[in-house]
């Protein structure tokens, strides 16, 4: 089960001013979490999604419908907004175990020529983009603490193991910045206007008549 918000329309890339993006699709890939229960809710966060709408739906699933787990996912410029939604939910509910997975996802954009040469058929371009993607699992039930990307509940919240906070006067260090969630090979992807300074790893153009 997936919920998603609408995406804003970015301007045409340089050299494609006469083209208009007519379609965007994502490659289908399974969620990177083993043993997910059937019917788990996936919140697909888009660049133009409204956080208020996403959180209203997600909170209803966890509080009113009694879901034990929920997944937030986003790619490209929606990565930062995905992390924001997760942090809001953790503050509102408390006691949530978290697993974060970062990978690349392929986007396919179809651009249509709005001003073809006289006597020529309309031309379409298909752009293949590999962009950073993040998937975050939140669970009321304990998760395997040895798996990569695991983060326990915040201190003092329901669901925390009491033995992990025997010294109540000791403060927990703040979470790492967003960049530290990414593997080194993603951090060095090059300059870009994406939220973390990450560029598309690869882009290819295909012409269609």
pLDDT digits (tens, 9 = 90+) for 110-144: 888 887 777 777 778 888 889 999 999 999 999 99
Closest CA to 129 of 21, 5, 8, 6: 21
| Distance between CA atoms of residues 108 and 110, nearest Å | 7
Q: Is 62 left (phi over 0), alpha (psi -120 to 50) or beta?
A: alpha
> Pairing state of beta strands 69-75 and 97-113?
unpaired
Of these ranges, 33-37, 86-90, 175-179, 187-191, the one predicted with the greatest mean pLDDT is 86-90
CB 89 within 8 A of CB 152: no
Does 170 have pLDDT greater than 60? no
120 falls within a domain: no
Structure tokens at 116: 């073809």
122 falls within a domain: no
CB 46 within 8 A of CB 78: yes
Q: What is the dihedral of CA 64, 67, 68, 70, to 10 degrees?
A: -110
What are the tens digits of pLDDT across the range 52-69? 999 999 999 999 898 999
143 falls within a domain: yes
Counting the structural domains of the chain, the total is 1
71 falls within a domain: yes
Residue 87: give its domain's CATH number.
3.30.110.20
Structure tokens at 58: 């997600």
Domain with 40, as residue range(s), is 2-8+36-107+132-156+188-203
Beta-bridge partners for 101: 135
């Amino acid at each position: 089960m997936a919920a998603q918000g609408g995406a804003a329309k970015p301007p045409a890339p340089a050299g494609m001013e006469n083209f208009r993006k007519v379609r965007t699709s994502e490659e289908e890939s399974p969620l990177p979490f083993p043993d997910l229960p059937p019917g788990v809710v996936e919140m697909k966060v888009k660049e133009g999604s409204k956080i208020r709408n996403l959180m209203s739906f997600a909170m209803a699933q966890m509080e009113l419908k009694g879901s034990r787990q929920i997944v937030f996912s986003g790619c490209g410029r929606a990565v930062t907004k995905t992390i924001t939604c997760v942090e809001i939910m953790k503050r509102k509910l408390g006691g949530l175990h978290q697993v974060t997975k970062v990978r690349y996802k392929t986007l396919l954009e179809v651009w249509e020529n709005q001003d073809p040469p006289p006597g020529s058929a309309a031309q379409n371009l298909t752009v293949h983009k590999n962009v950073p993607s993040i998937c975050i699992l939140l669970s009321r039930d304990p998760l395997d603490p040895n798996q990569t990307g695991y983060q326990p509940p915040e201190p003092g919240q329901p669901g925390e193991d009491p033995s992990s906070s025997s010294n109540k006067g000791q403060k927990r260090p703040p979470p790492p910045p967003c960049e530290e969630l990414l593997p080194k090979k993603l951090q060095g992807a090059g300059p870009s206007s994406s939220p973390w300074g990450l560029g598309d790893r690869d882009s290819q153009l295909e012409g269609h008549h």
